[in-house]
Chains A and B, each alone.
Chain A
Amino acid sequence: MTGLTLLIPLALVLGLCGLAAFFWALRSGQFDDMDGAALRILIEDEEPK
Chain B
Amino acid sequence: MNAPVRIAPAPALERTLFAVPGMRCAACISKLESGLAPVAGVISARVNFTARCVAVDHLPELTTKDIQAAIGAIGFDAEAISDADALTDNGESRALMRATAVAGFAAMNIMLLSVSIWSGAEAGTRDLFHLLSGIIAIPTVTYSGRPFFRSAWAAVRRGRTNMDVPISIGVVLVTALSLFETLTGGAHAYFDGAVMLLFFLLVGRMLDSVMRDRARGGVAALLKQTATGARVANPDGSTIWIAAEALVPGQLMIVPAGERLAADGVVESGSSGLDLSLLTGESAPCRVSAGAHVHAGTLNLDSPLTVRVMAAGPDTAIADIARLMEHAGQGRSRYVRIADRAARWYAPAVHTLAIMAFAGWMLAGAGWHEALLIAAAVLIITCPCALGLAVPAAQIVAAGALMRRGVLIKDGSALERLAEADRLLFDKTGTLTLGRPEPVDLERLPHAVRPAALALAQASKHPLSAALRRALEADGARPAALTDLVEEPGFGMRGRWDAVPVSLGRPAQATAGEMAVAFVSDDAPPVVVHFRDALRPDAAATVHRLQGLGLECSIVSGDRAAAALPVVRALELTAQTGMRPQDKIDAIARLAGAGRRVLMVGDGLNDGPALAAAHVSMAPASASDVGQAAADVVFLGDSLAPVATAILAARRTMQVVRQNFAIAIAYNVLAVPLALAGMVTPLVAAIAMSGSSIIVVGNALRLRGAAR
Residues of A within 8 A of B (CB): 1, 4, 8, 11-12, 15-16, 18-19, 22-23, 26, 31-36, 39-45, 47
In the assembled complex, the CB of B286 is this many whole angstroms from the nearest CB of chain A, namely: 39
Interface residues of B in 24-75 (CB under 8 A from A): 25-27, 29-30, 34, 47-51
Which among B100-108, B261-269, B312-320 touches the partner chain? Answer: B100-108
Size bracket, chain B contacts: 20 to 34
B327 at the interface (CB under 8 A from A): no
In this complex, which of B25, B50, B98, B112 has the most chain A Cβ atoms within 10 angstroms of its Cβ? B50
Q: In the complex the two chains form, what is the Cα distance from A36 to B51 in whole Å?
A: 9
Closest chain B residue, CB of each to CB of A19: B105
Which A residues lie within 8 Å of B94 (CB)?
A: 26
Is the CB–CB distance between A11 and B112 below 8 Å? yes
Do most interface residues of chain A lie in helix, strand or loop, or is the interface mixed? helix
Give which listed residue, B97, B101, B132, contacts A19 with CB less than 8 A: B101
In the assembled complex, the CB of B129 is this many whole angstroms from the nearest CB of chain A, namely: 9
Give which listed residue, B2, B98, B101, B125, contacts A40 with CB less than 8 A: B2
Is the CB–CB distance between B49 and A36 below 8 Å? yes
In the assembled complex, the CB of B55 is this many whole angstroms from the nearest CB of chain A, namely: 10
Is the CB–CB distance between B125 and A39 below 8 Å? no
B136 at the interface (CB under 8 A from A): yes
Interface residues of B in 607-665 (CB under 8 A from A): none
Q: In the complex the two chains form, what is the Cα distance from A36 to B112 in whole Å?
A: 37
Is the CB–CB distance between B51 and A33 below 8 Å? yes
Residues of B within 8 A of A (CB): 1-3, 25-27, 29-30, 34, 47-51, 88, 94, 97-98, 101-102, 105, 108-109, 112, 125, 128, 132, 136
Is the CB–CB distance between B50 and A36 below 8 Å? yes
Closest 3 pairs (CB-CB, A-B): A36-B49, A42-B26, A39-B26
Closest chain A residue, CB of each to CB of B25: A39
Known contacts A19-B105, A32-B48, A42-B26; 14 further A-B pairs (Cβ under 8 A)? A12-B109, A16-B105, A26-B97, A32-B88, A33-B49, A33-B50, A36-B49, A39-B25, A39-B49, A40-B29, A43-B2, A43-B30, A44-B2, A44-B30
Is the CB–CB distance between B101 and A43 below 8 Å? no
Which B residues lie within 8 Å of A35 (CB)?
A: 49-50
Is the CB–CB distance between B50 and A34 below 8 Å? yes
In the assembled complex, the CB of B221 is this many whole angstroms from the nearest CB of chain A, namely: 20
In the assembled complex, the CB of A43 is this many whole angstroms from the nearest CB of chain B, namely: 4
